Amino acid sequence: MKKVFSTVFFALAILFCSNASAQISHGGEPLFNQGIQRIKAPIVTLATLDNDKYLQEDLNQVKGASPLRVAIAQQCDIDVLAESKVTKDNNGTHYTLAINSPGATFVSFDFSVFELAEGATLFFYDQSGEFVLGSFNKSDVKDDGTFYTQAIPGSVAYIEYNVPLDTEPGKIILSEVSHGYKNIFQTISNIYDDAESQLKGSHGHAEGDCHINVVCPEGDDWRDQIRSVVAIEIKSSIGSFMCSGALINNTALDRTPYVLSAYHCQDEGEIGTLRGFVSYFLYQTNYCNGASGSGNKSVTGAQIKAKYSYSTGSDFLLLLLDSSVPDNYTPYYAGWDRNNVASPEPGVCIHHPGGDYKKLSFPRTISRLMGSYINFYQVNWYTGTANKGVTEQGSSGSPLFNASKRIIGQLYAGSSACDNMGGADLYGRLYISWTGNNADNNSLRPWLDPENTGVSVLDGLNYTDNTGIDDVQTSRNKSLKVYPNPCKGTVRFDIDAIGDANYKVFDLNGHCVKEGRTILTSTVQGIDLSTLSKGSYILKIYTSANIYSATIVLL
């Protein structure tokens, strides 16, 4: 979502995978996903909800008052094993059950008890049998003993649970079903089209059609950064909502799956009681002008590591995904720049407007605001025939890149729209988010700079791609030629870096005895160490790309 301070209202959407398993799982195929076998499964039918009613409520909603819903949460208490059809054979005991939420365009499941047997496998599939999630096993349970799924297309979804011979089955309690009431799956037609036509644009689910699909030539200079951006489904006690975010790098270069988004995306005053997050990768069209896209891939679950309110801070949210991002998602961990720059050279905004396929929007200007909005950048867009996209609901939390391809902020609020290109948007400044209010849970610094290097810029990092993390870290660490060595105070060196750099000096016991910042130029590269006692030290210089180190002796 994008908070609106003018005329634009929230419009959110759930994402889907039309033809393949998307949620991280352990492989394998369900045993009962055949037409006749699916029909034999008993069906538990939930109460019928009036989709038209909810769509009309959204249309009549005071714009900007609260997030626009895309799903209604139906509470239930279903003992999956007790309600299932039970089949036994030489491979074990098998439980199959169908859940029907009449009229739903999609469903997702929340389990309050998720106690799977050792060696058991769990699958979910839709009524056609073409969409499959799984297998899942006991290792997939969340820390609080729960489990939830991404969206499954259609009103009927099947649960298949397979338990080895002579094994106690455990217990599975389905406590909530999210009932989708927007026709977000392209494979379903002629459902509530009249009301929903007022909520959709010509490209997927975005209201406007001025955004640029990321596969278009305009994205050629941003291919890595595009792969960092994700769509985020926020699950709550009310239903489901949508934001954008980006994988972001840290100075340890260890591919910790941090995702930067917006505080208001998890604000319980906006969405009700927070249940969890699903992050969707590679959700984009197959062709520049296409309306169909590649199947998305998702990671279910995330912890909130830090956040800073929009009322007093910069509206940032830092998530740590519950699972590492698989290499076949081809993730990119975006770089960042935390410098206090008044007018950064514009780069690009990459986002999921309305939960739609991933889009590009190119700012005309970026400027630091003052007064009550000093924690934010203002972005203005091109207008008329020169326009290259804007933002809308669903874009909230999306990264703003500068011309150097580093994140400098995330979307908070705005009035821009394809029919209001002159509207401006606000992005929380990474410069403010870095220290927040100096508490770990309100600042980015302890998470994105765990090595306490003090660097102000960091480049992005690609997924493994046959290169191990140790190799990446080794390639980043460079030897430093220093002279004179031994020296009596000022040590000089030659490196290929120019610009701001941070340095630290360690004694041979590993204690940092001096640190600071220096400006590296083509002619002046040196540090005064005359305040240190005689002895041997290790000097480290940190730039955005490398860490340089050398052993020095002071006389």
Residue with tokens 């994008």: 2
351, two tokens: 């986002």
DSSP H helices in 156-300: 193-196, 223-228, 268-271
Please give the single-letter amino acid code of residue 414.
Answer: G
How far is the CA of 451 from the CAs of 236, 260, 447, 454, 515, in angstroms? 35, 19, 9, 8, 13
Q: What is the bridge-based pairing of β-strands 406-414 and 335-337? A: parallel
Q: How far apart are CA 95 and CA 84, in angstroms?
A: 5
78-95 burial: b if 16+ Cβ within 10 Å, else e? bebbebbeebeeeebbbb
Of 117, 121, 123, 129, nearest to 154 by C-alpha is 129
Question: Would you list the DSSP string of 376-421?
Answer: EEEEEE--GGG------TT-TT-EEEETTSEEEEEEEEE--BTTBT
Contact partners, residue 109, CB within 8 Å, separation at least 6: 99, 124, 148, 149, 152, 157, 159, 174, 176, 177, 178
Of 347, 368, 484, 380, nearest to 430 by C-alpha is 368
Of 192, 233, 283, nearest to 108 by C-alpha is 233
372, two tokens: 């009550």
Q: How far apart are CA 354 and CA 81, in angstroms?
A: 38
| Phi, psi (degrees; rounded to nearest 5) at 42 | -65, 155
Question: Per the residue annotation, which of 203, 211, 264, 352 is the catalytic one?
Answer: 264
Residue with tokens 């360690």: 506
Question: Per the residue annotation, which of 396, 398, 415, 544 is the catalytic one?
Answer: 396
315 is catalytic: yes
Is the Cα dihedral 524, 530, 534, 539 positive or negative?
Answer: negative
Instruction: Give a three-class secondary structure readout of 316-357.
Output: EEEEEECCCCCHHHCCEEEEEECCCCCCCCEEEEEECHHHCC
DSSP conformational letter for 131: -
Question: Per the residue annotation, which of 140, 315, 356, 449 is the catalytic one?
Answer: 315
Angle at 108 between CA 413 and CA 260, to 5 degrees: 35
HSE-up of 410 (CA within 13 Å, CB side)?
38
Count Cβ atoms within 10 A of the Cβ of residue 306 and give its class: 0-12 exposed, 13-18 middle, 19 or more buried.
buried
How far is the CA of 286 from the CAs of 215, 224, 351, 358, 361, in angstroms? 7, 17, 16, 11, 18
Of 254, 382, 379, nearest to 320 by C-alpha is 254
264 is catalytic: yes
Give catalytic residues, as residue numbers: 264, 315, 396
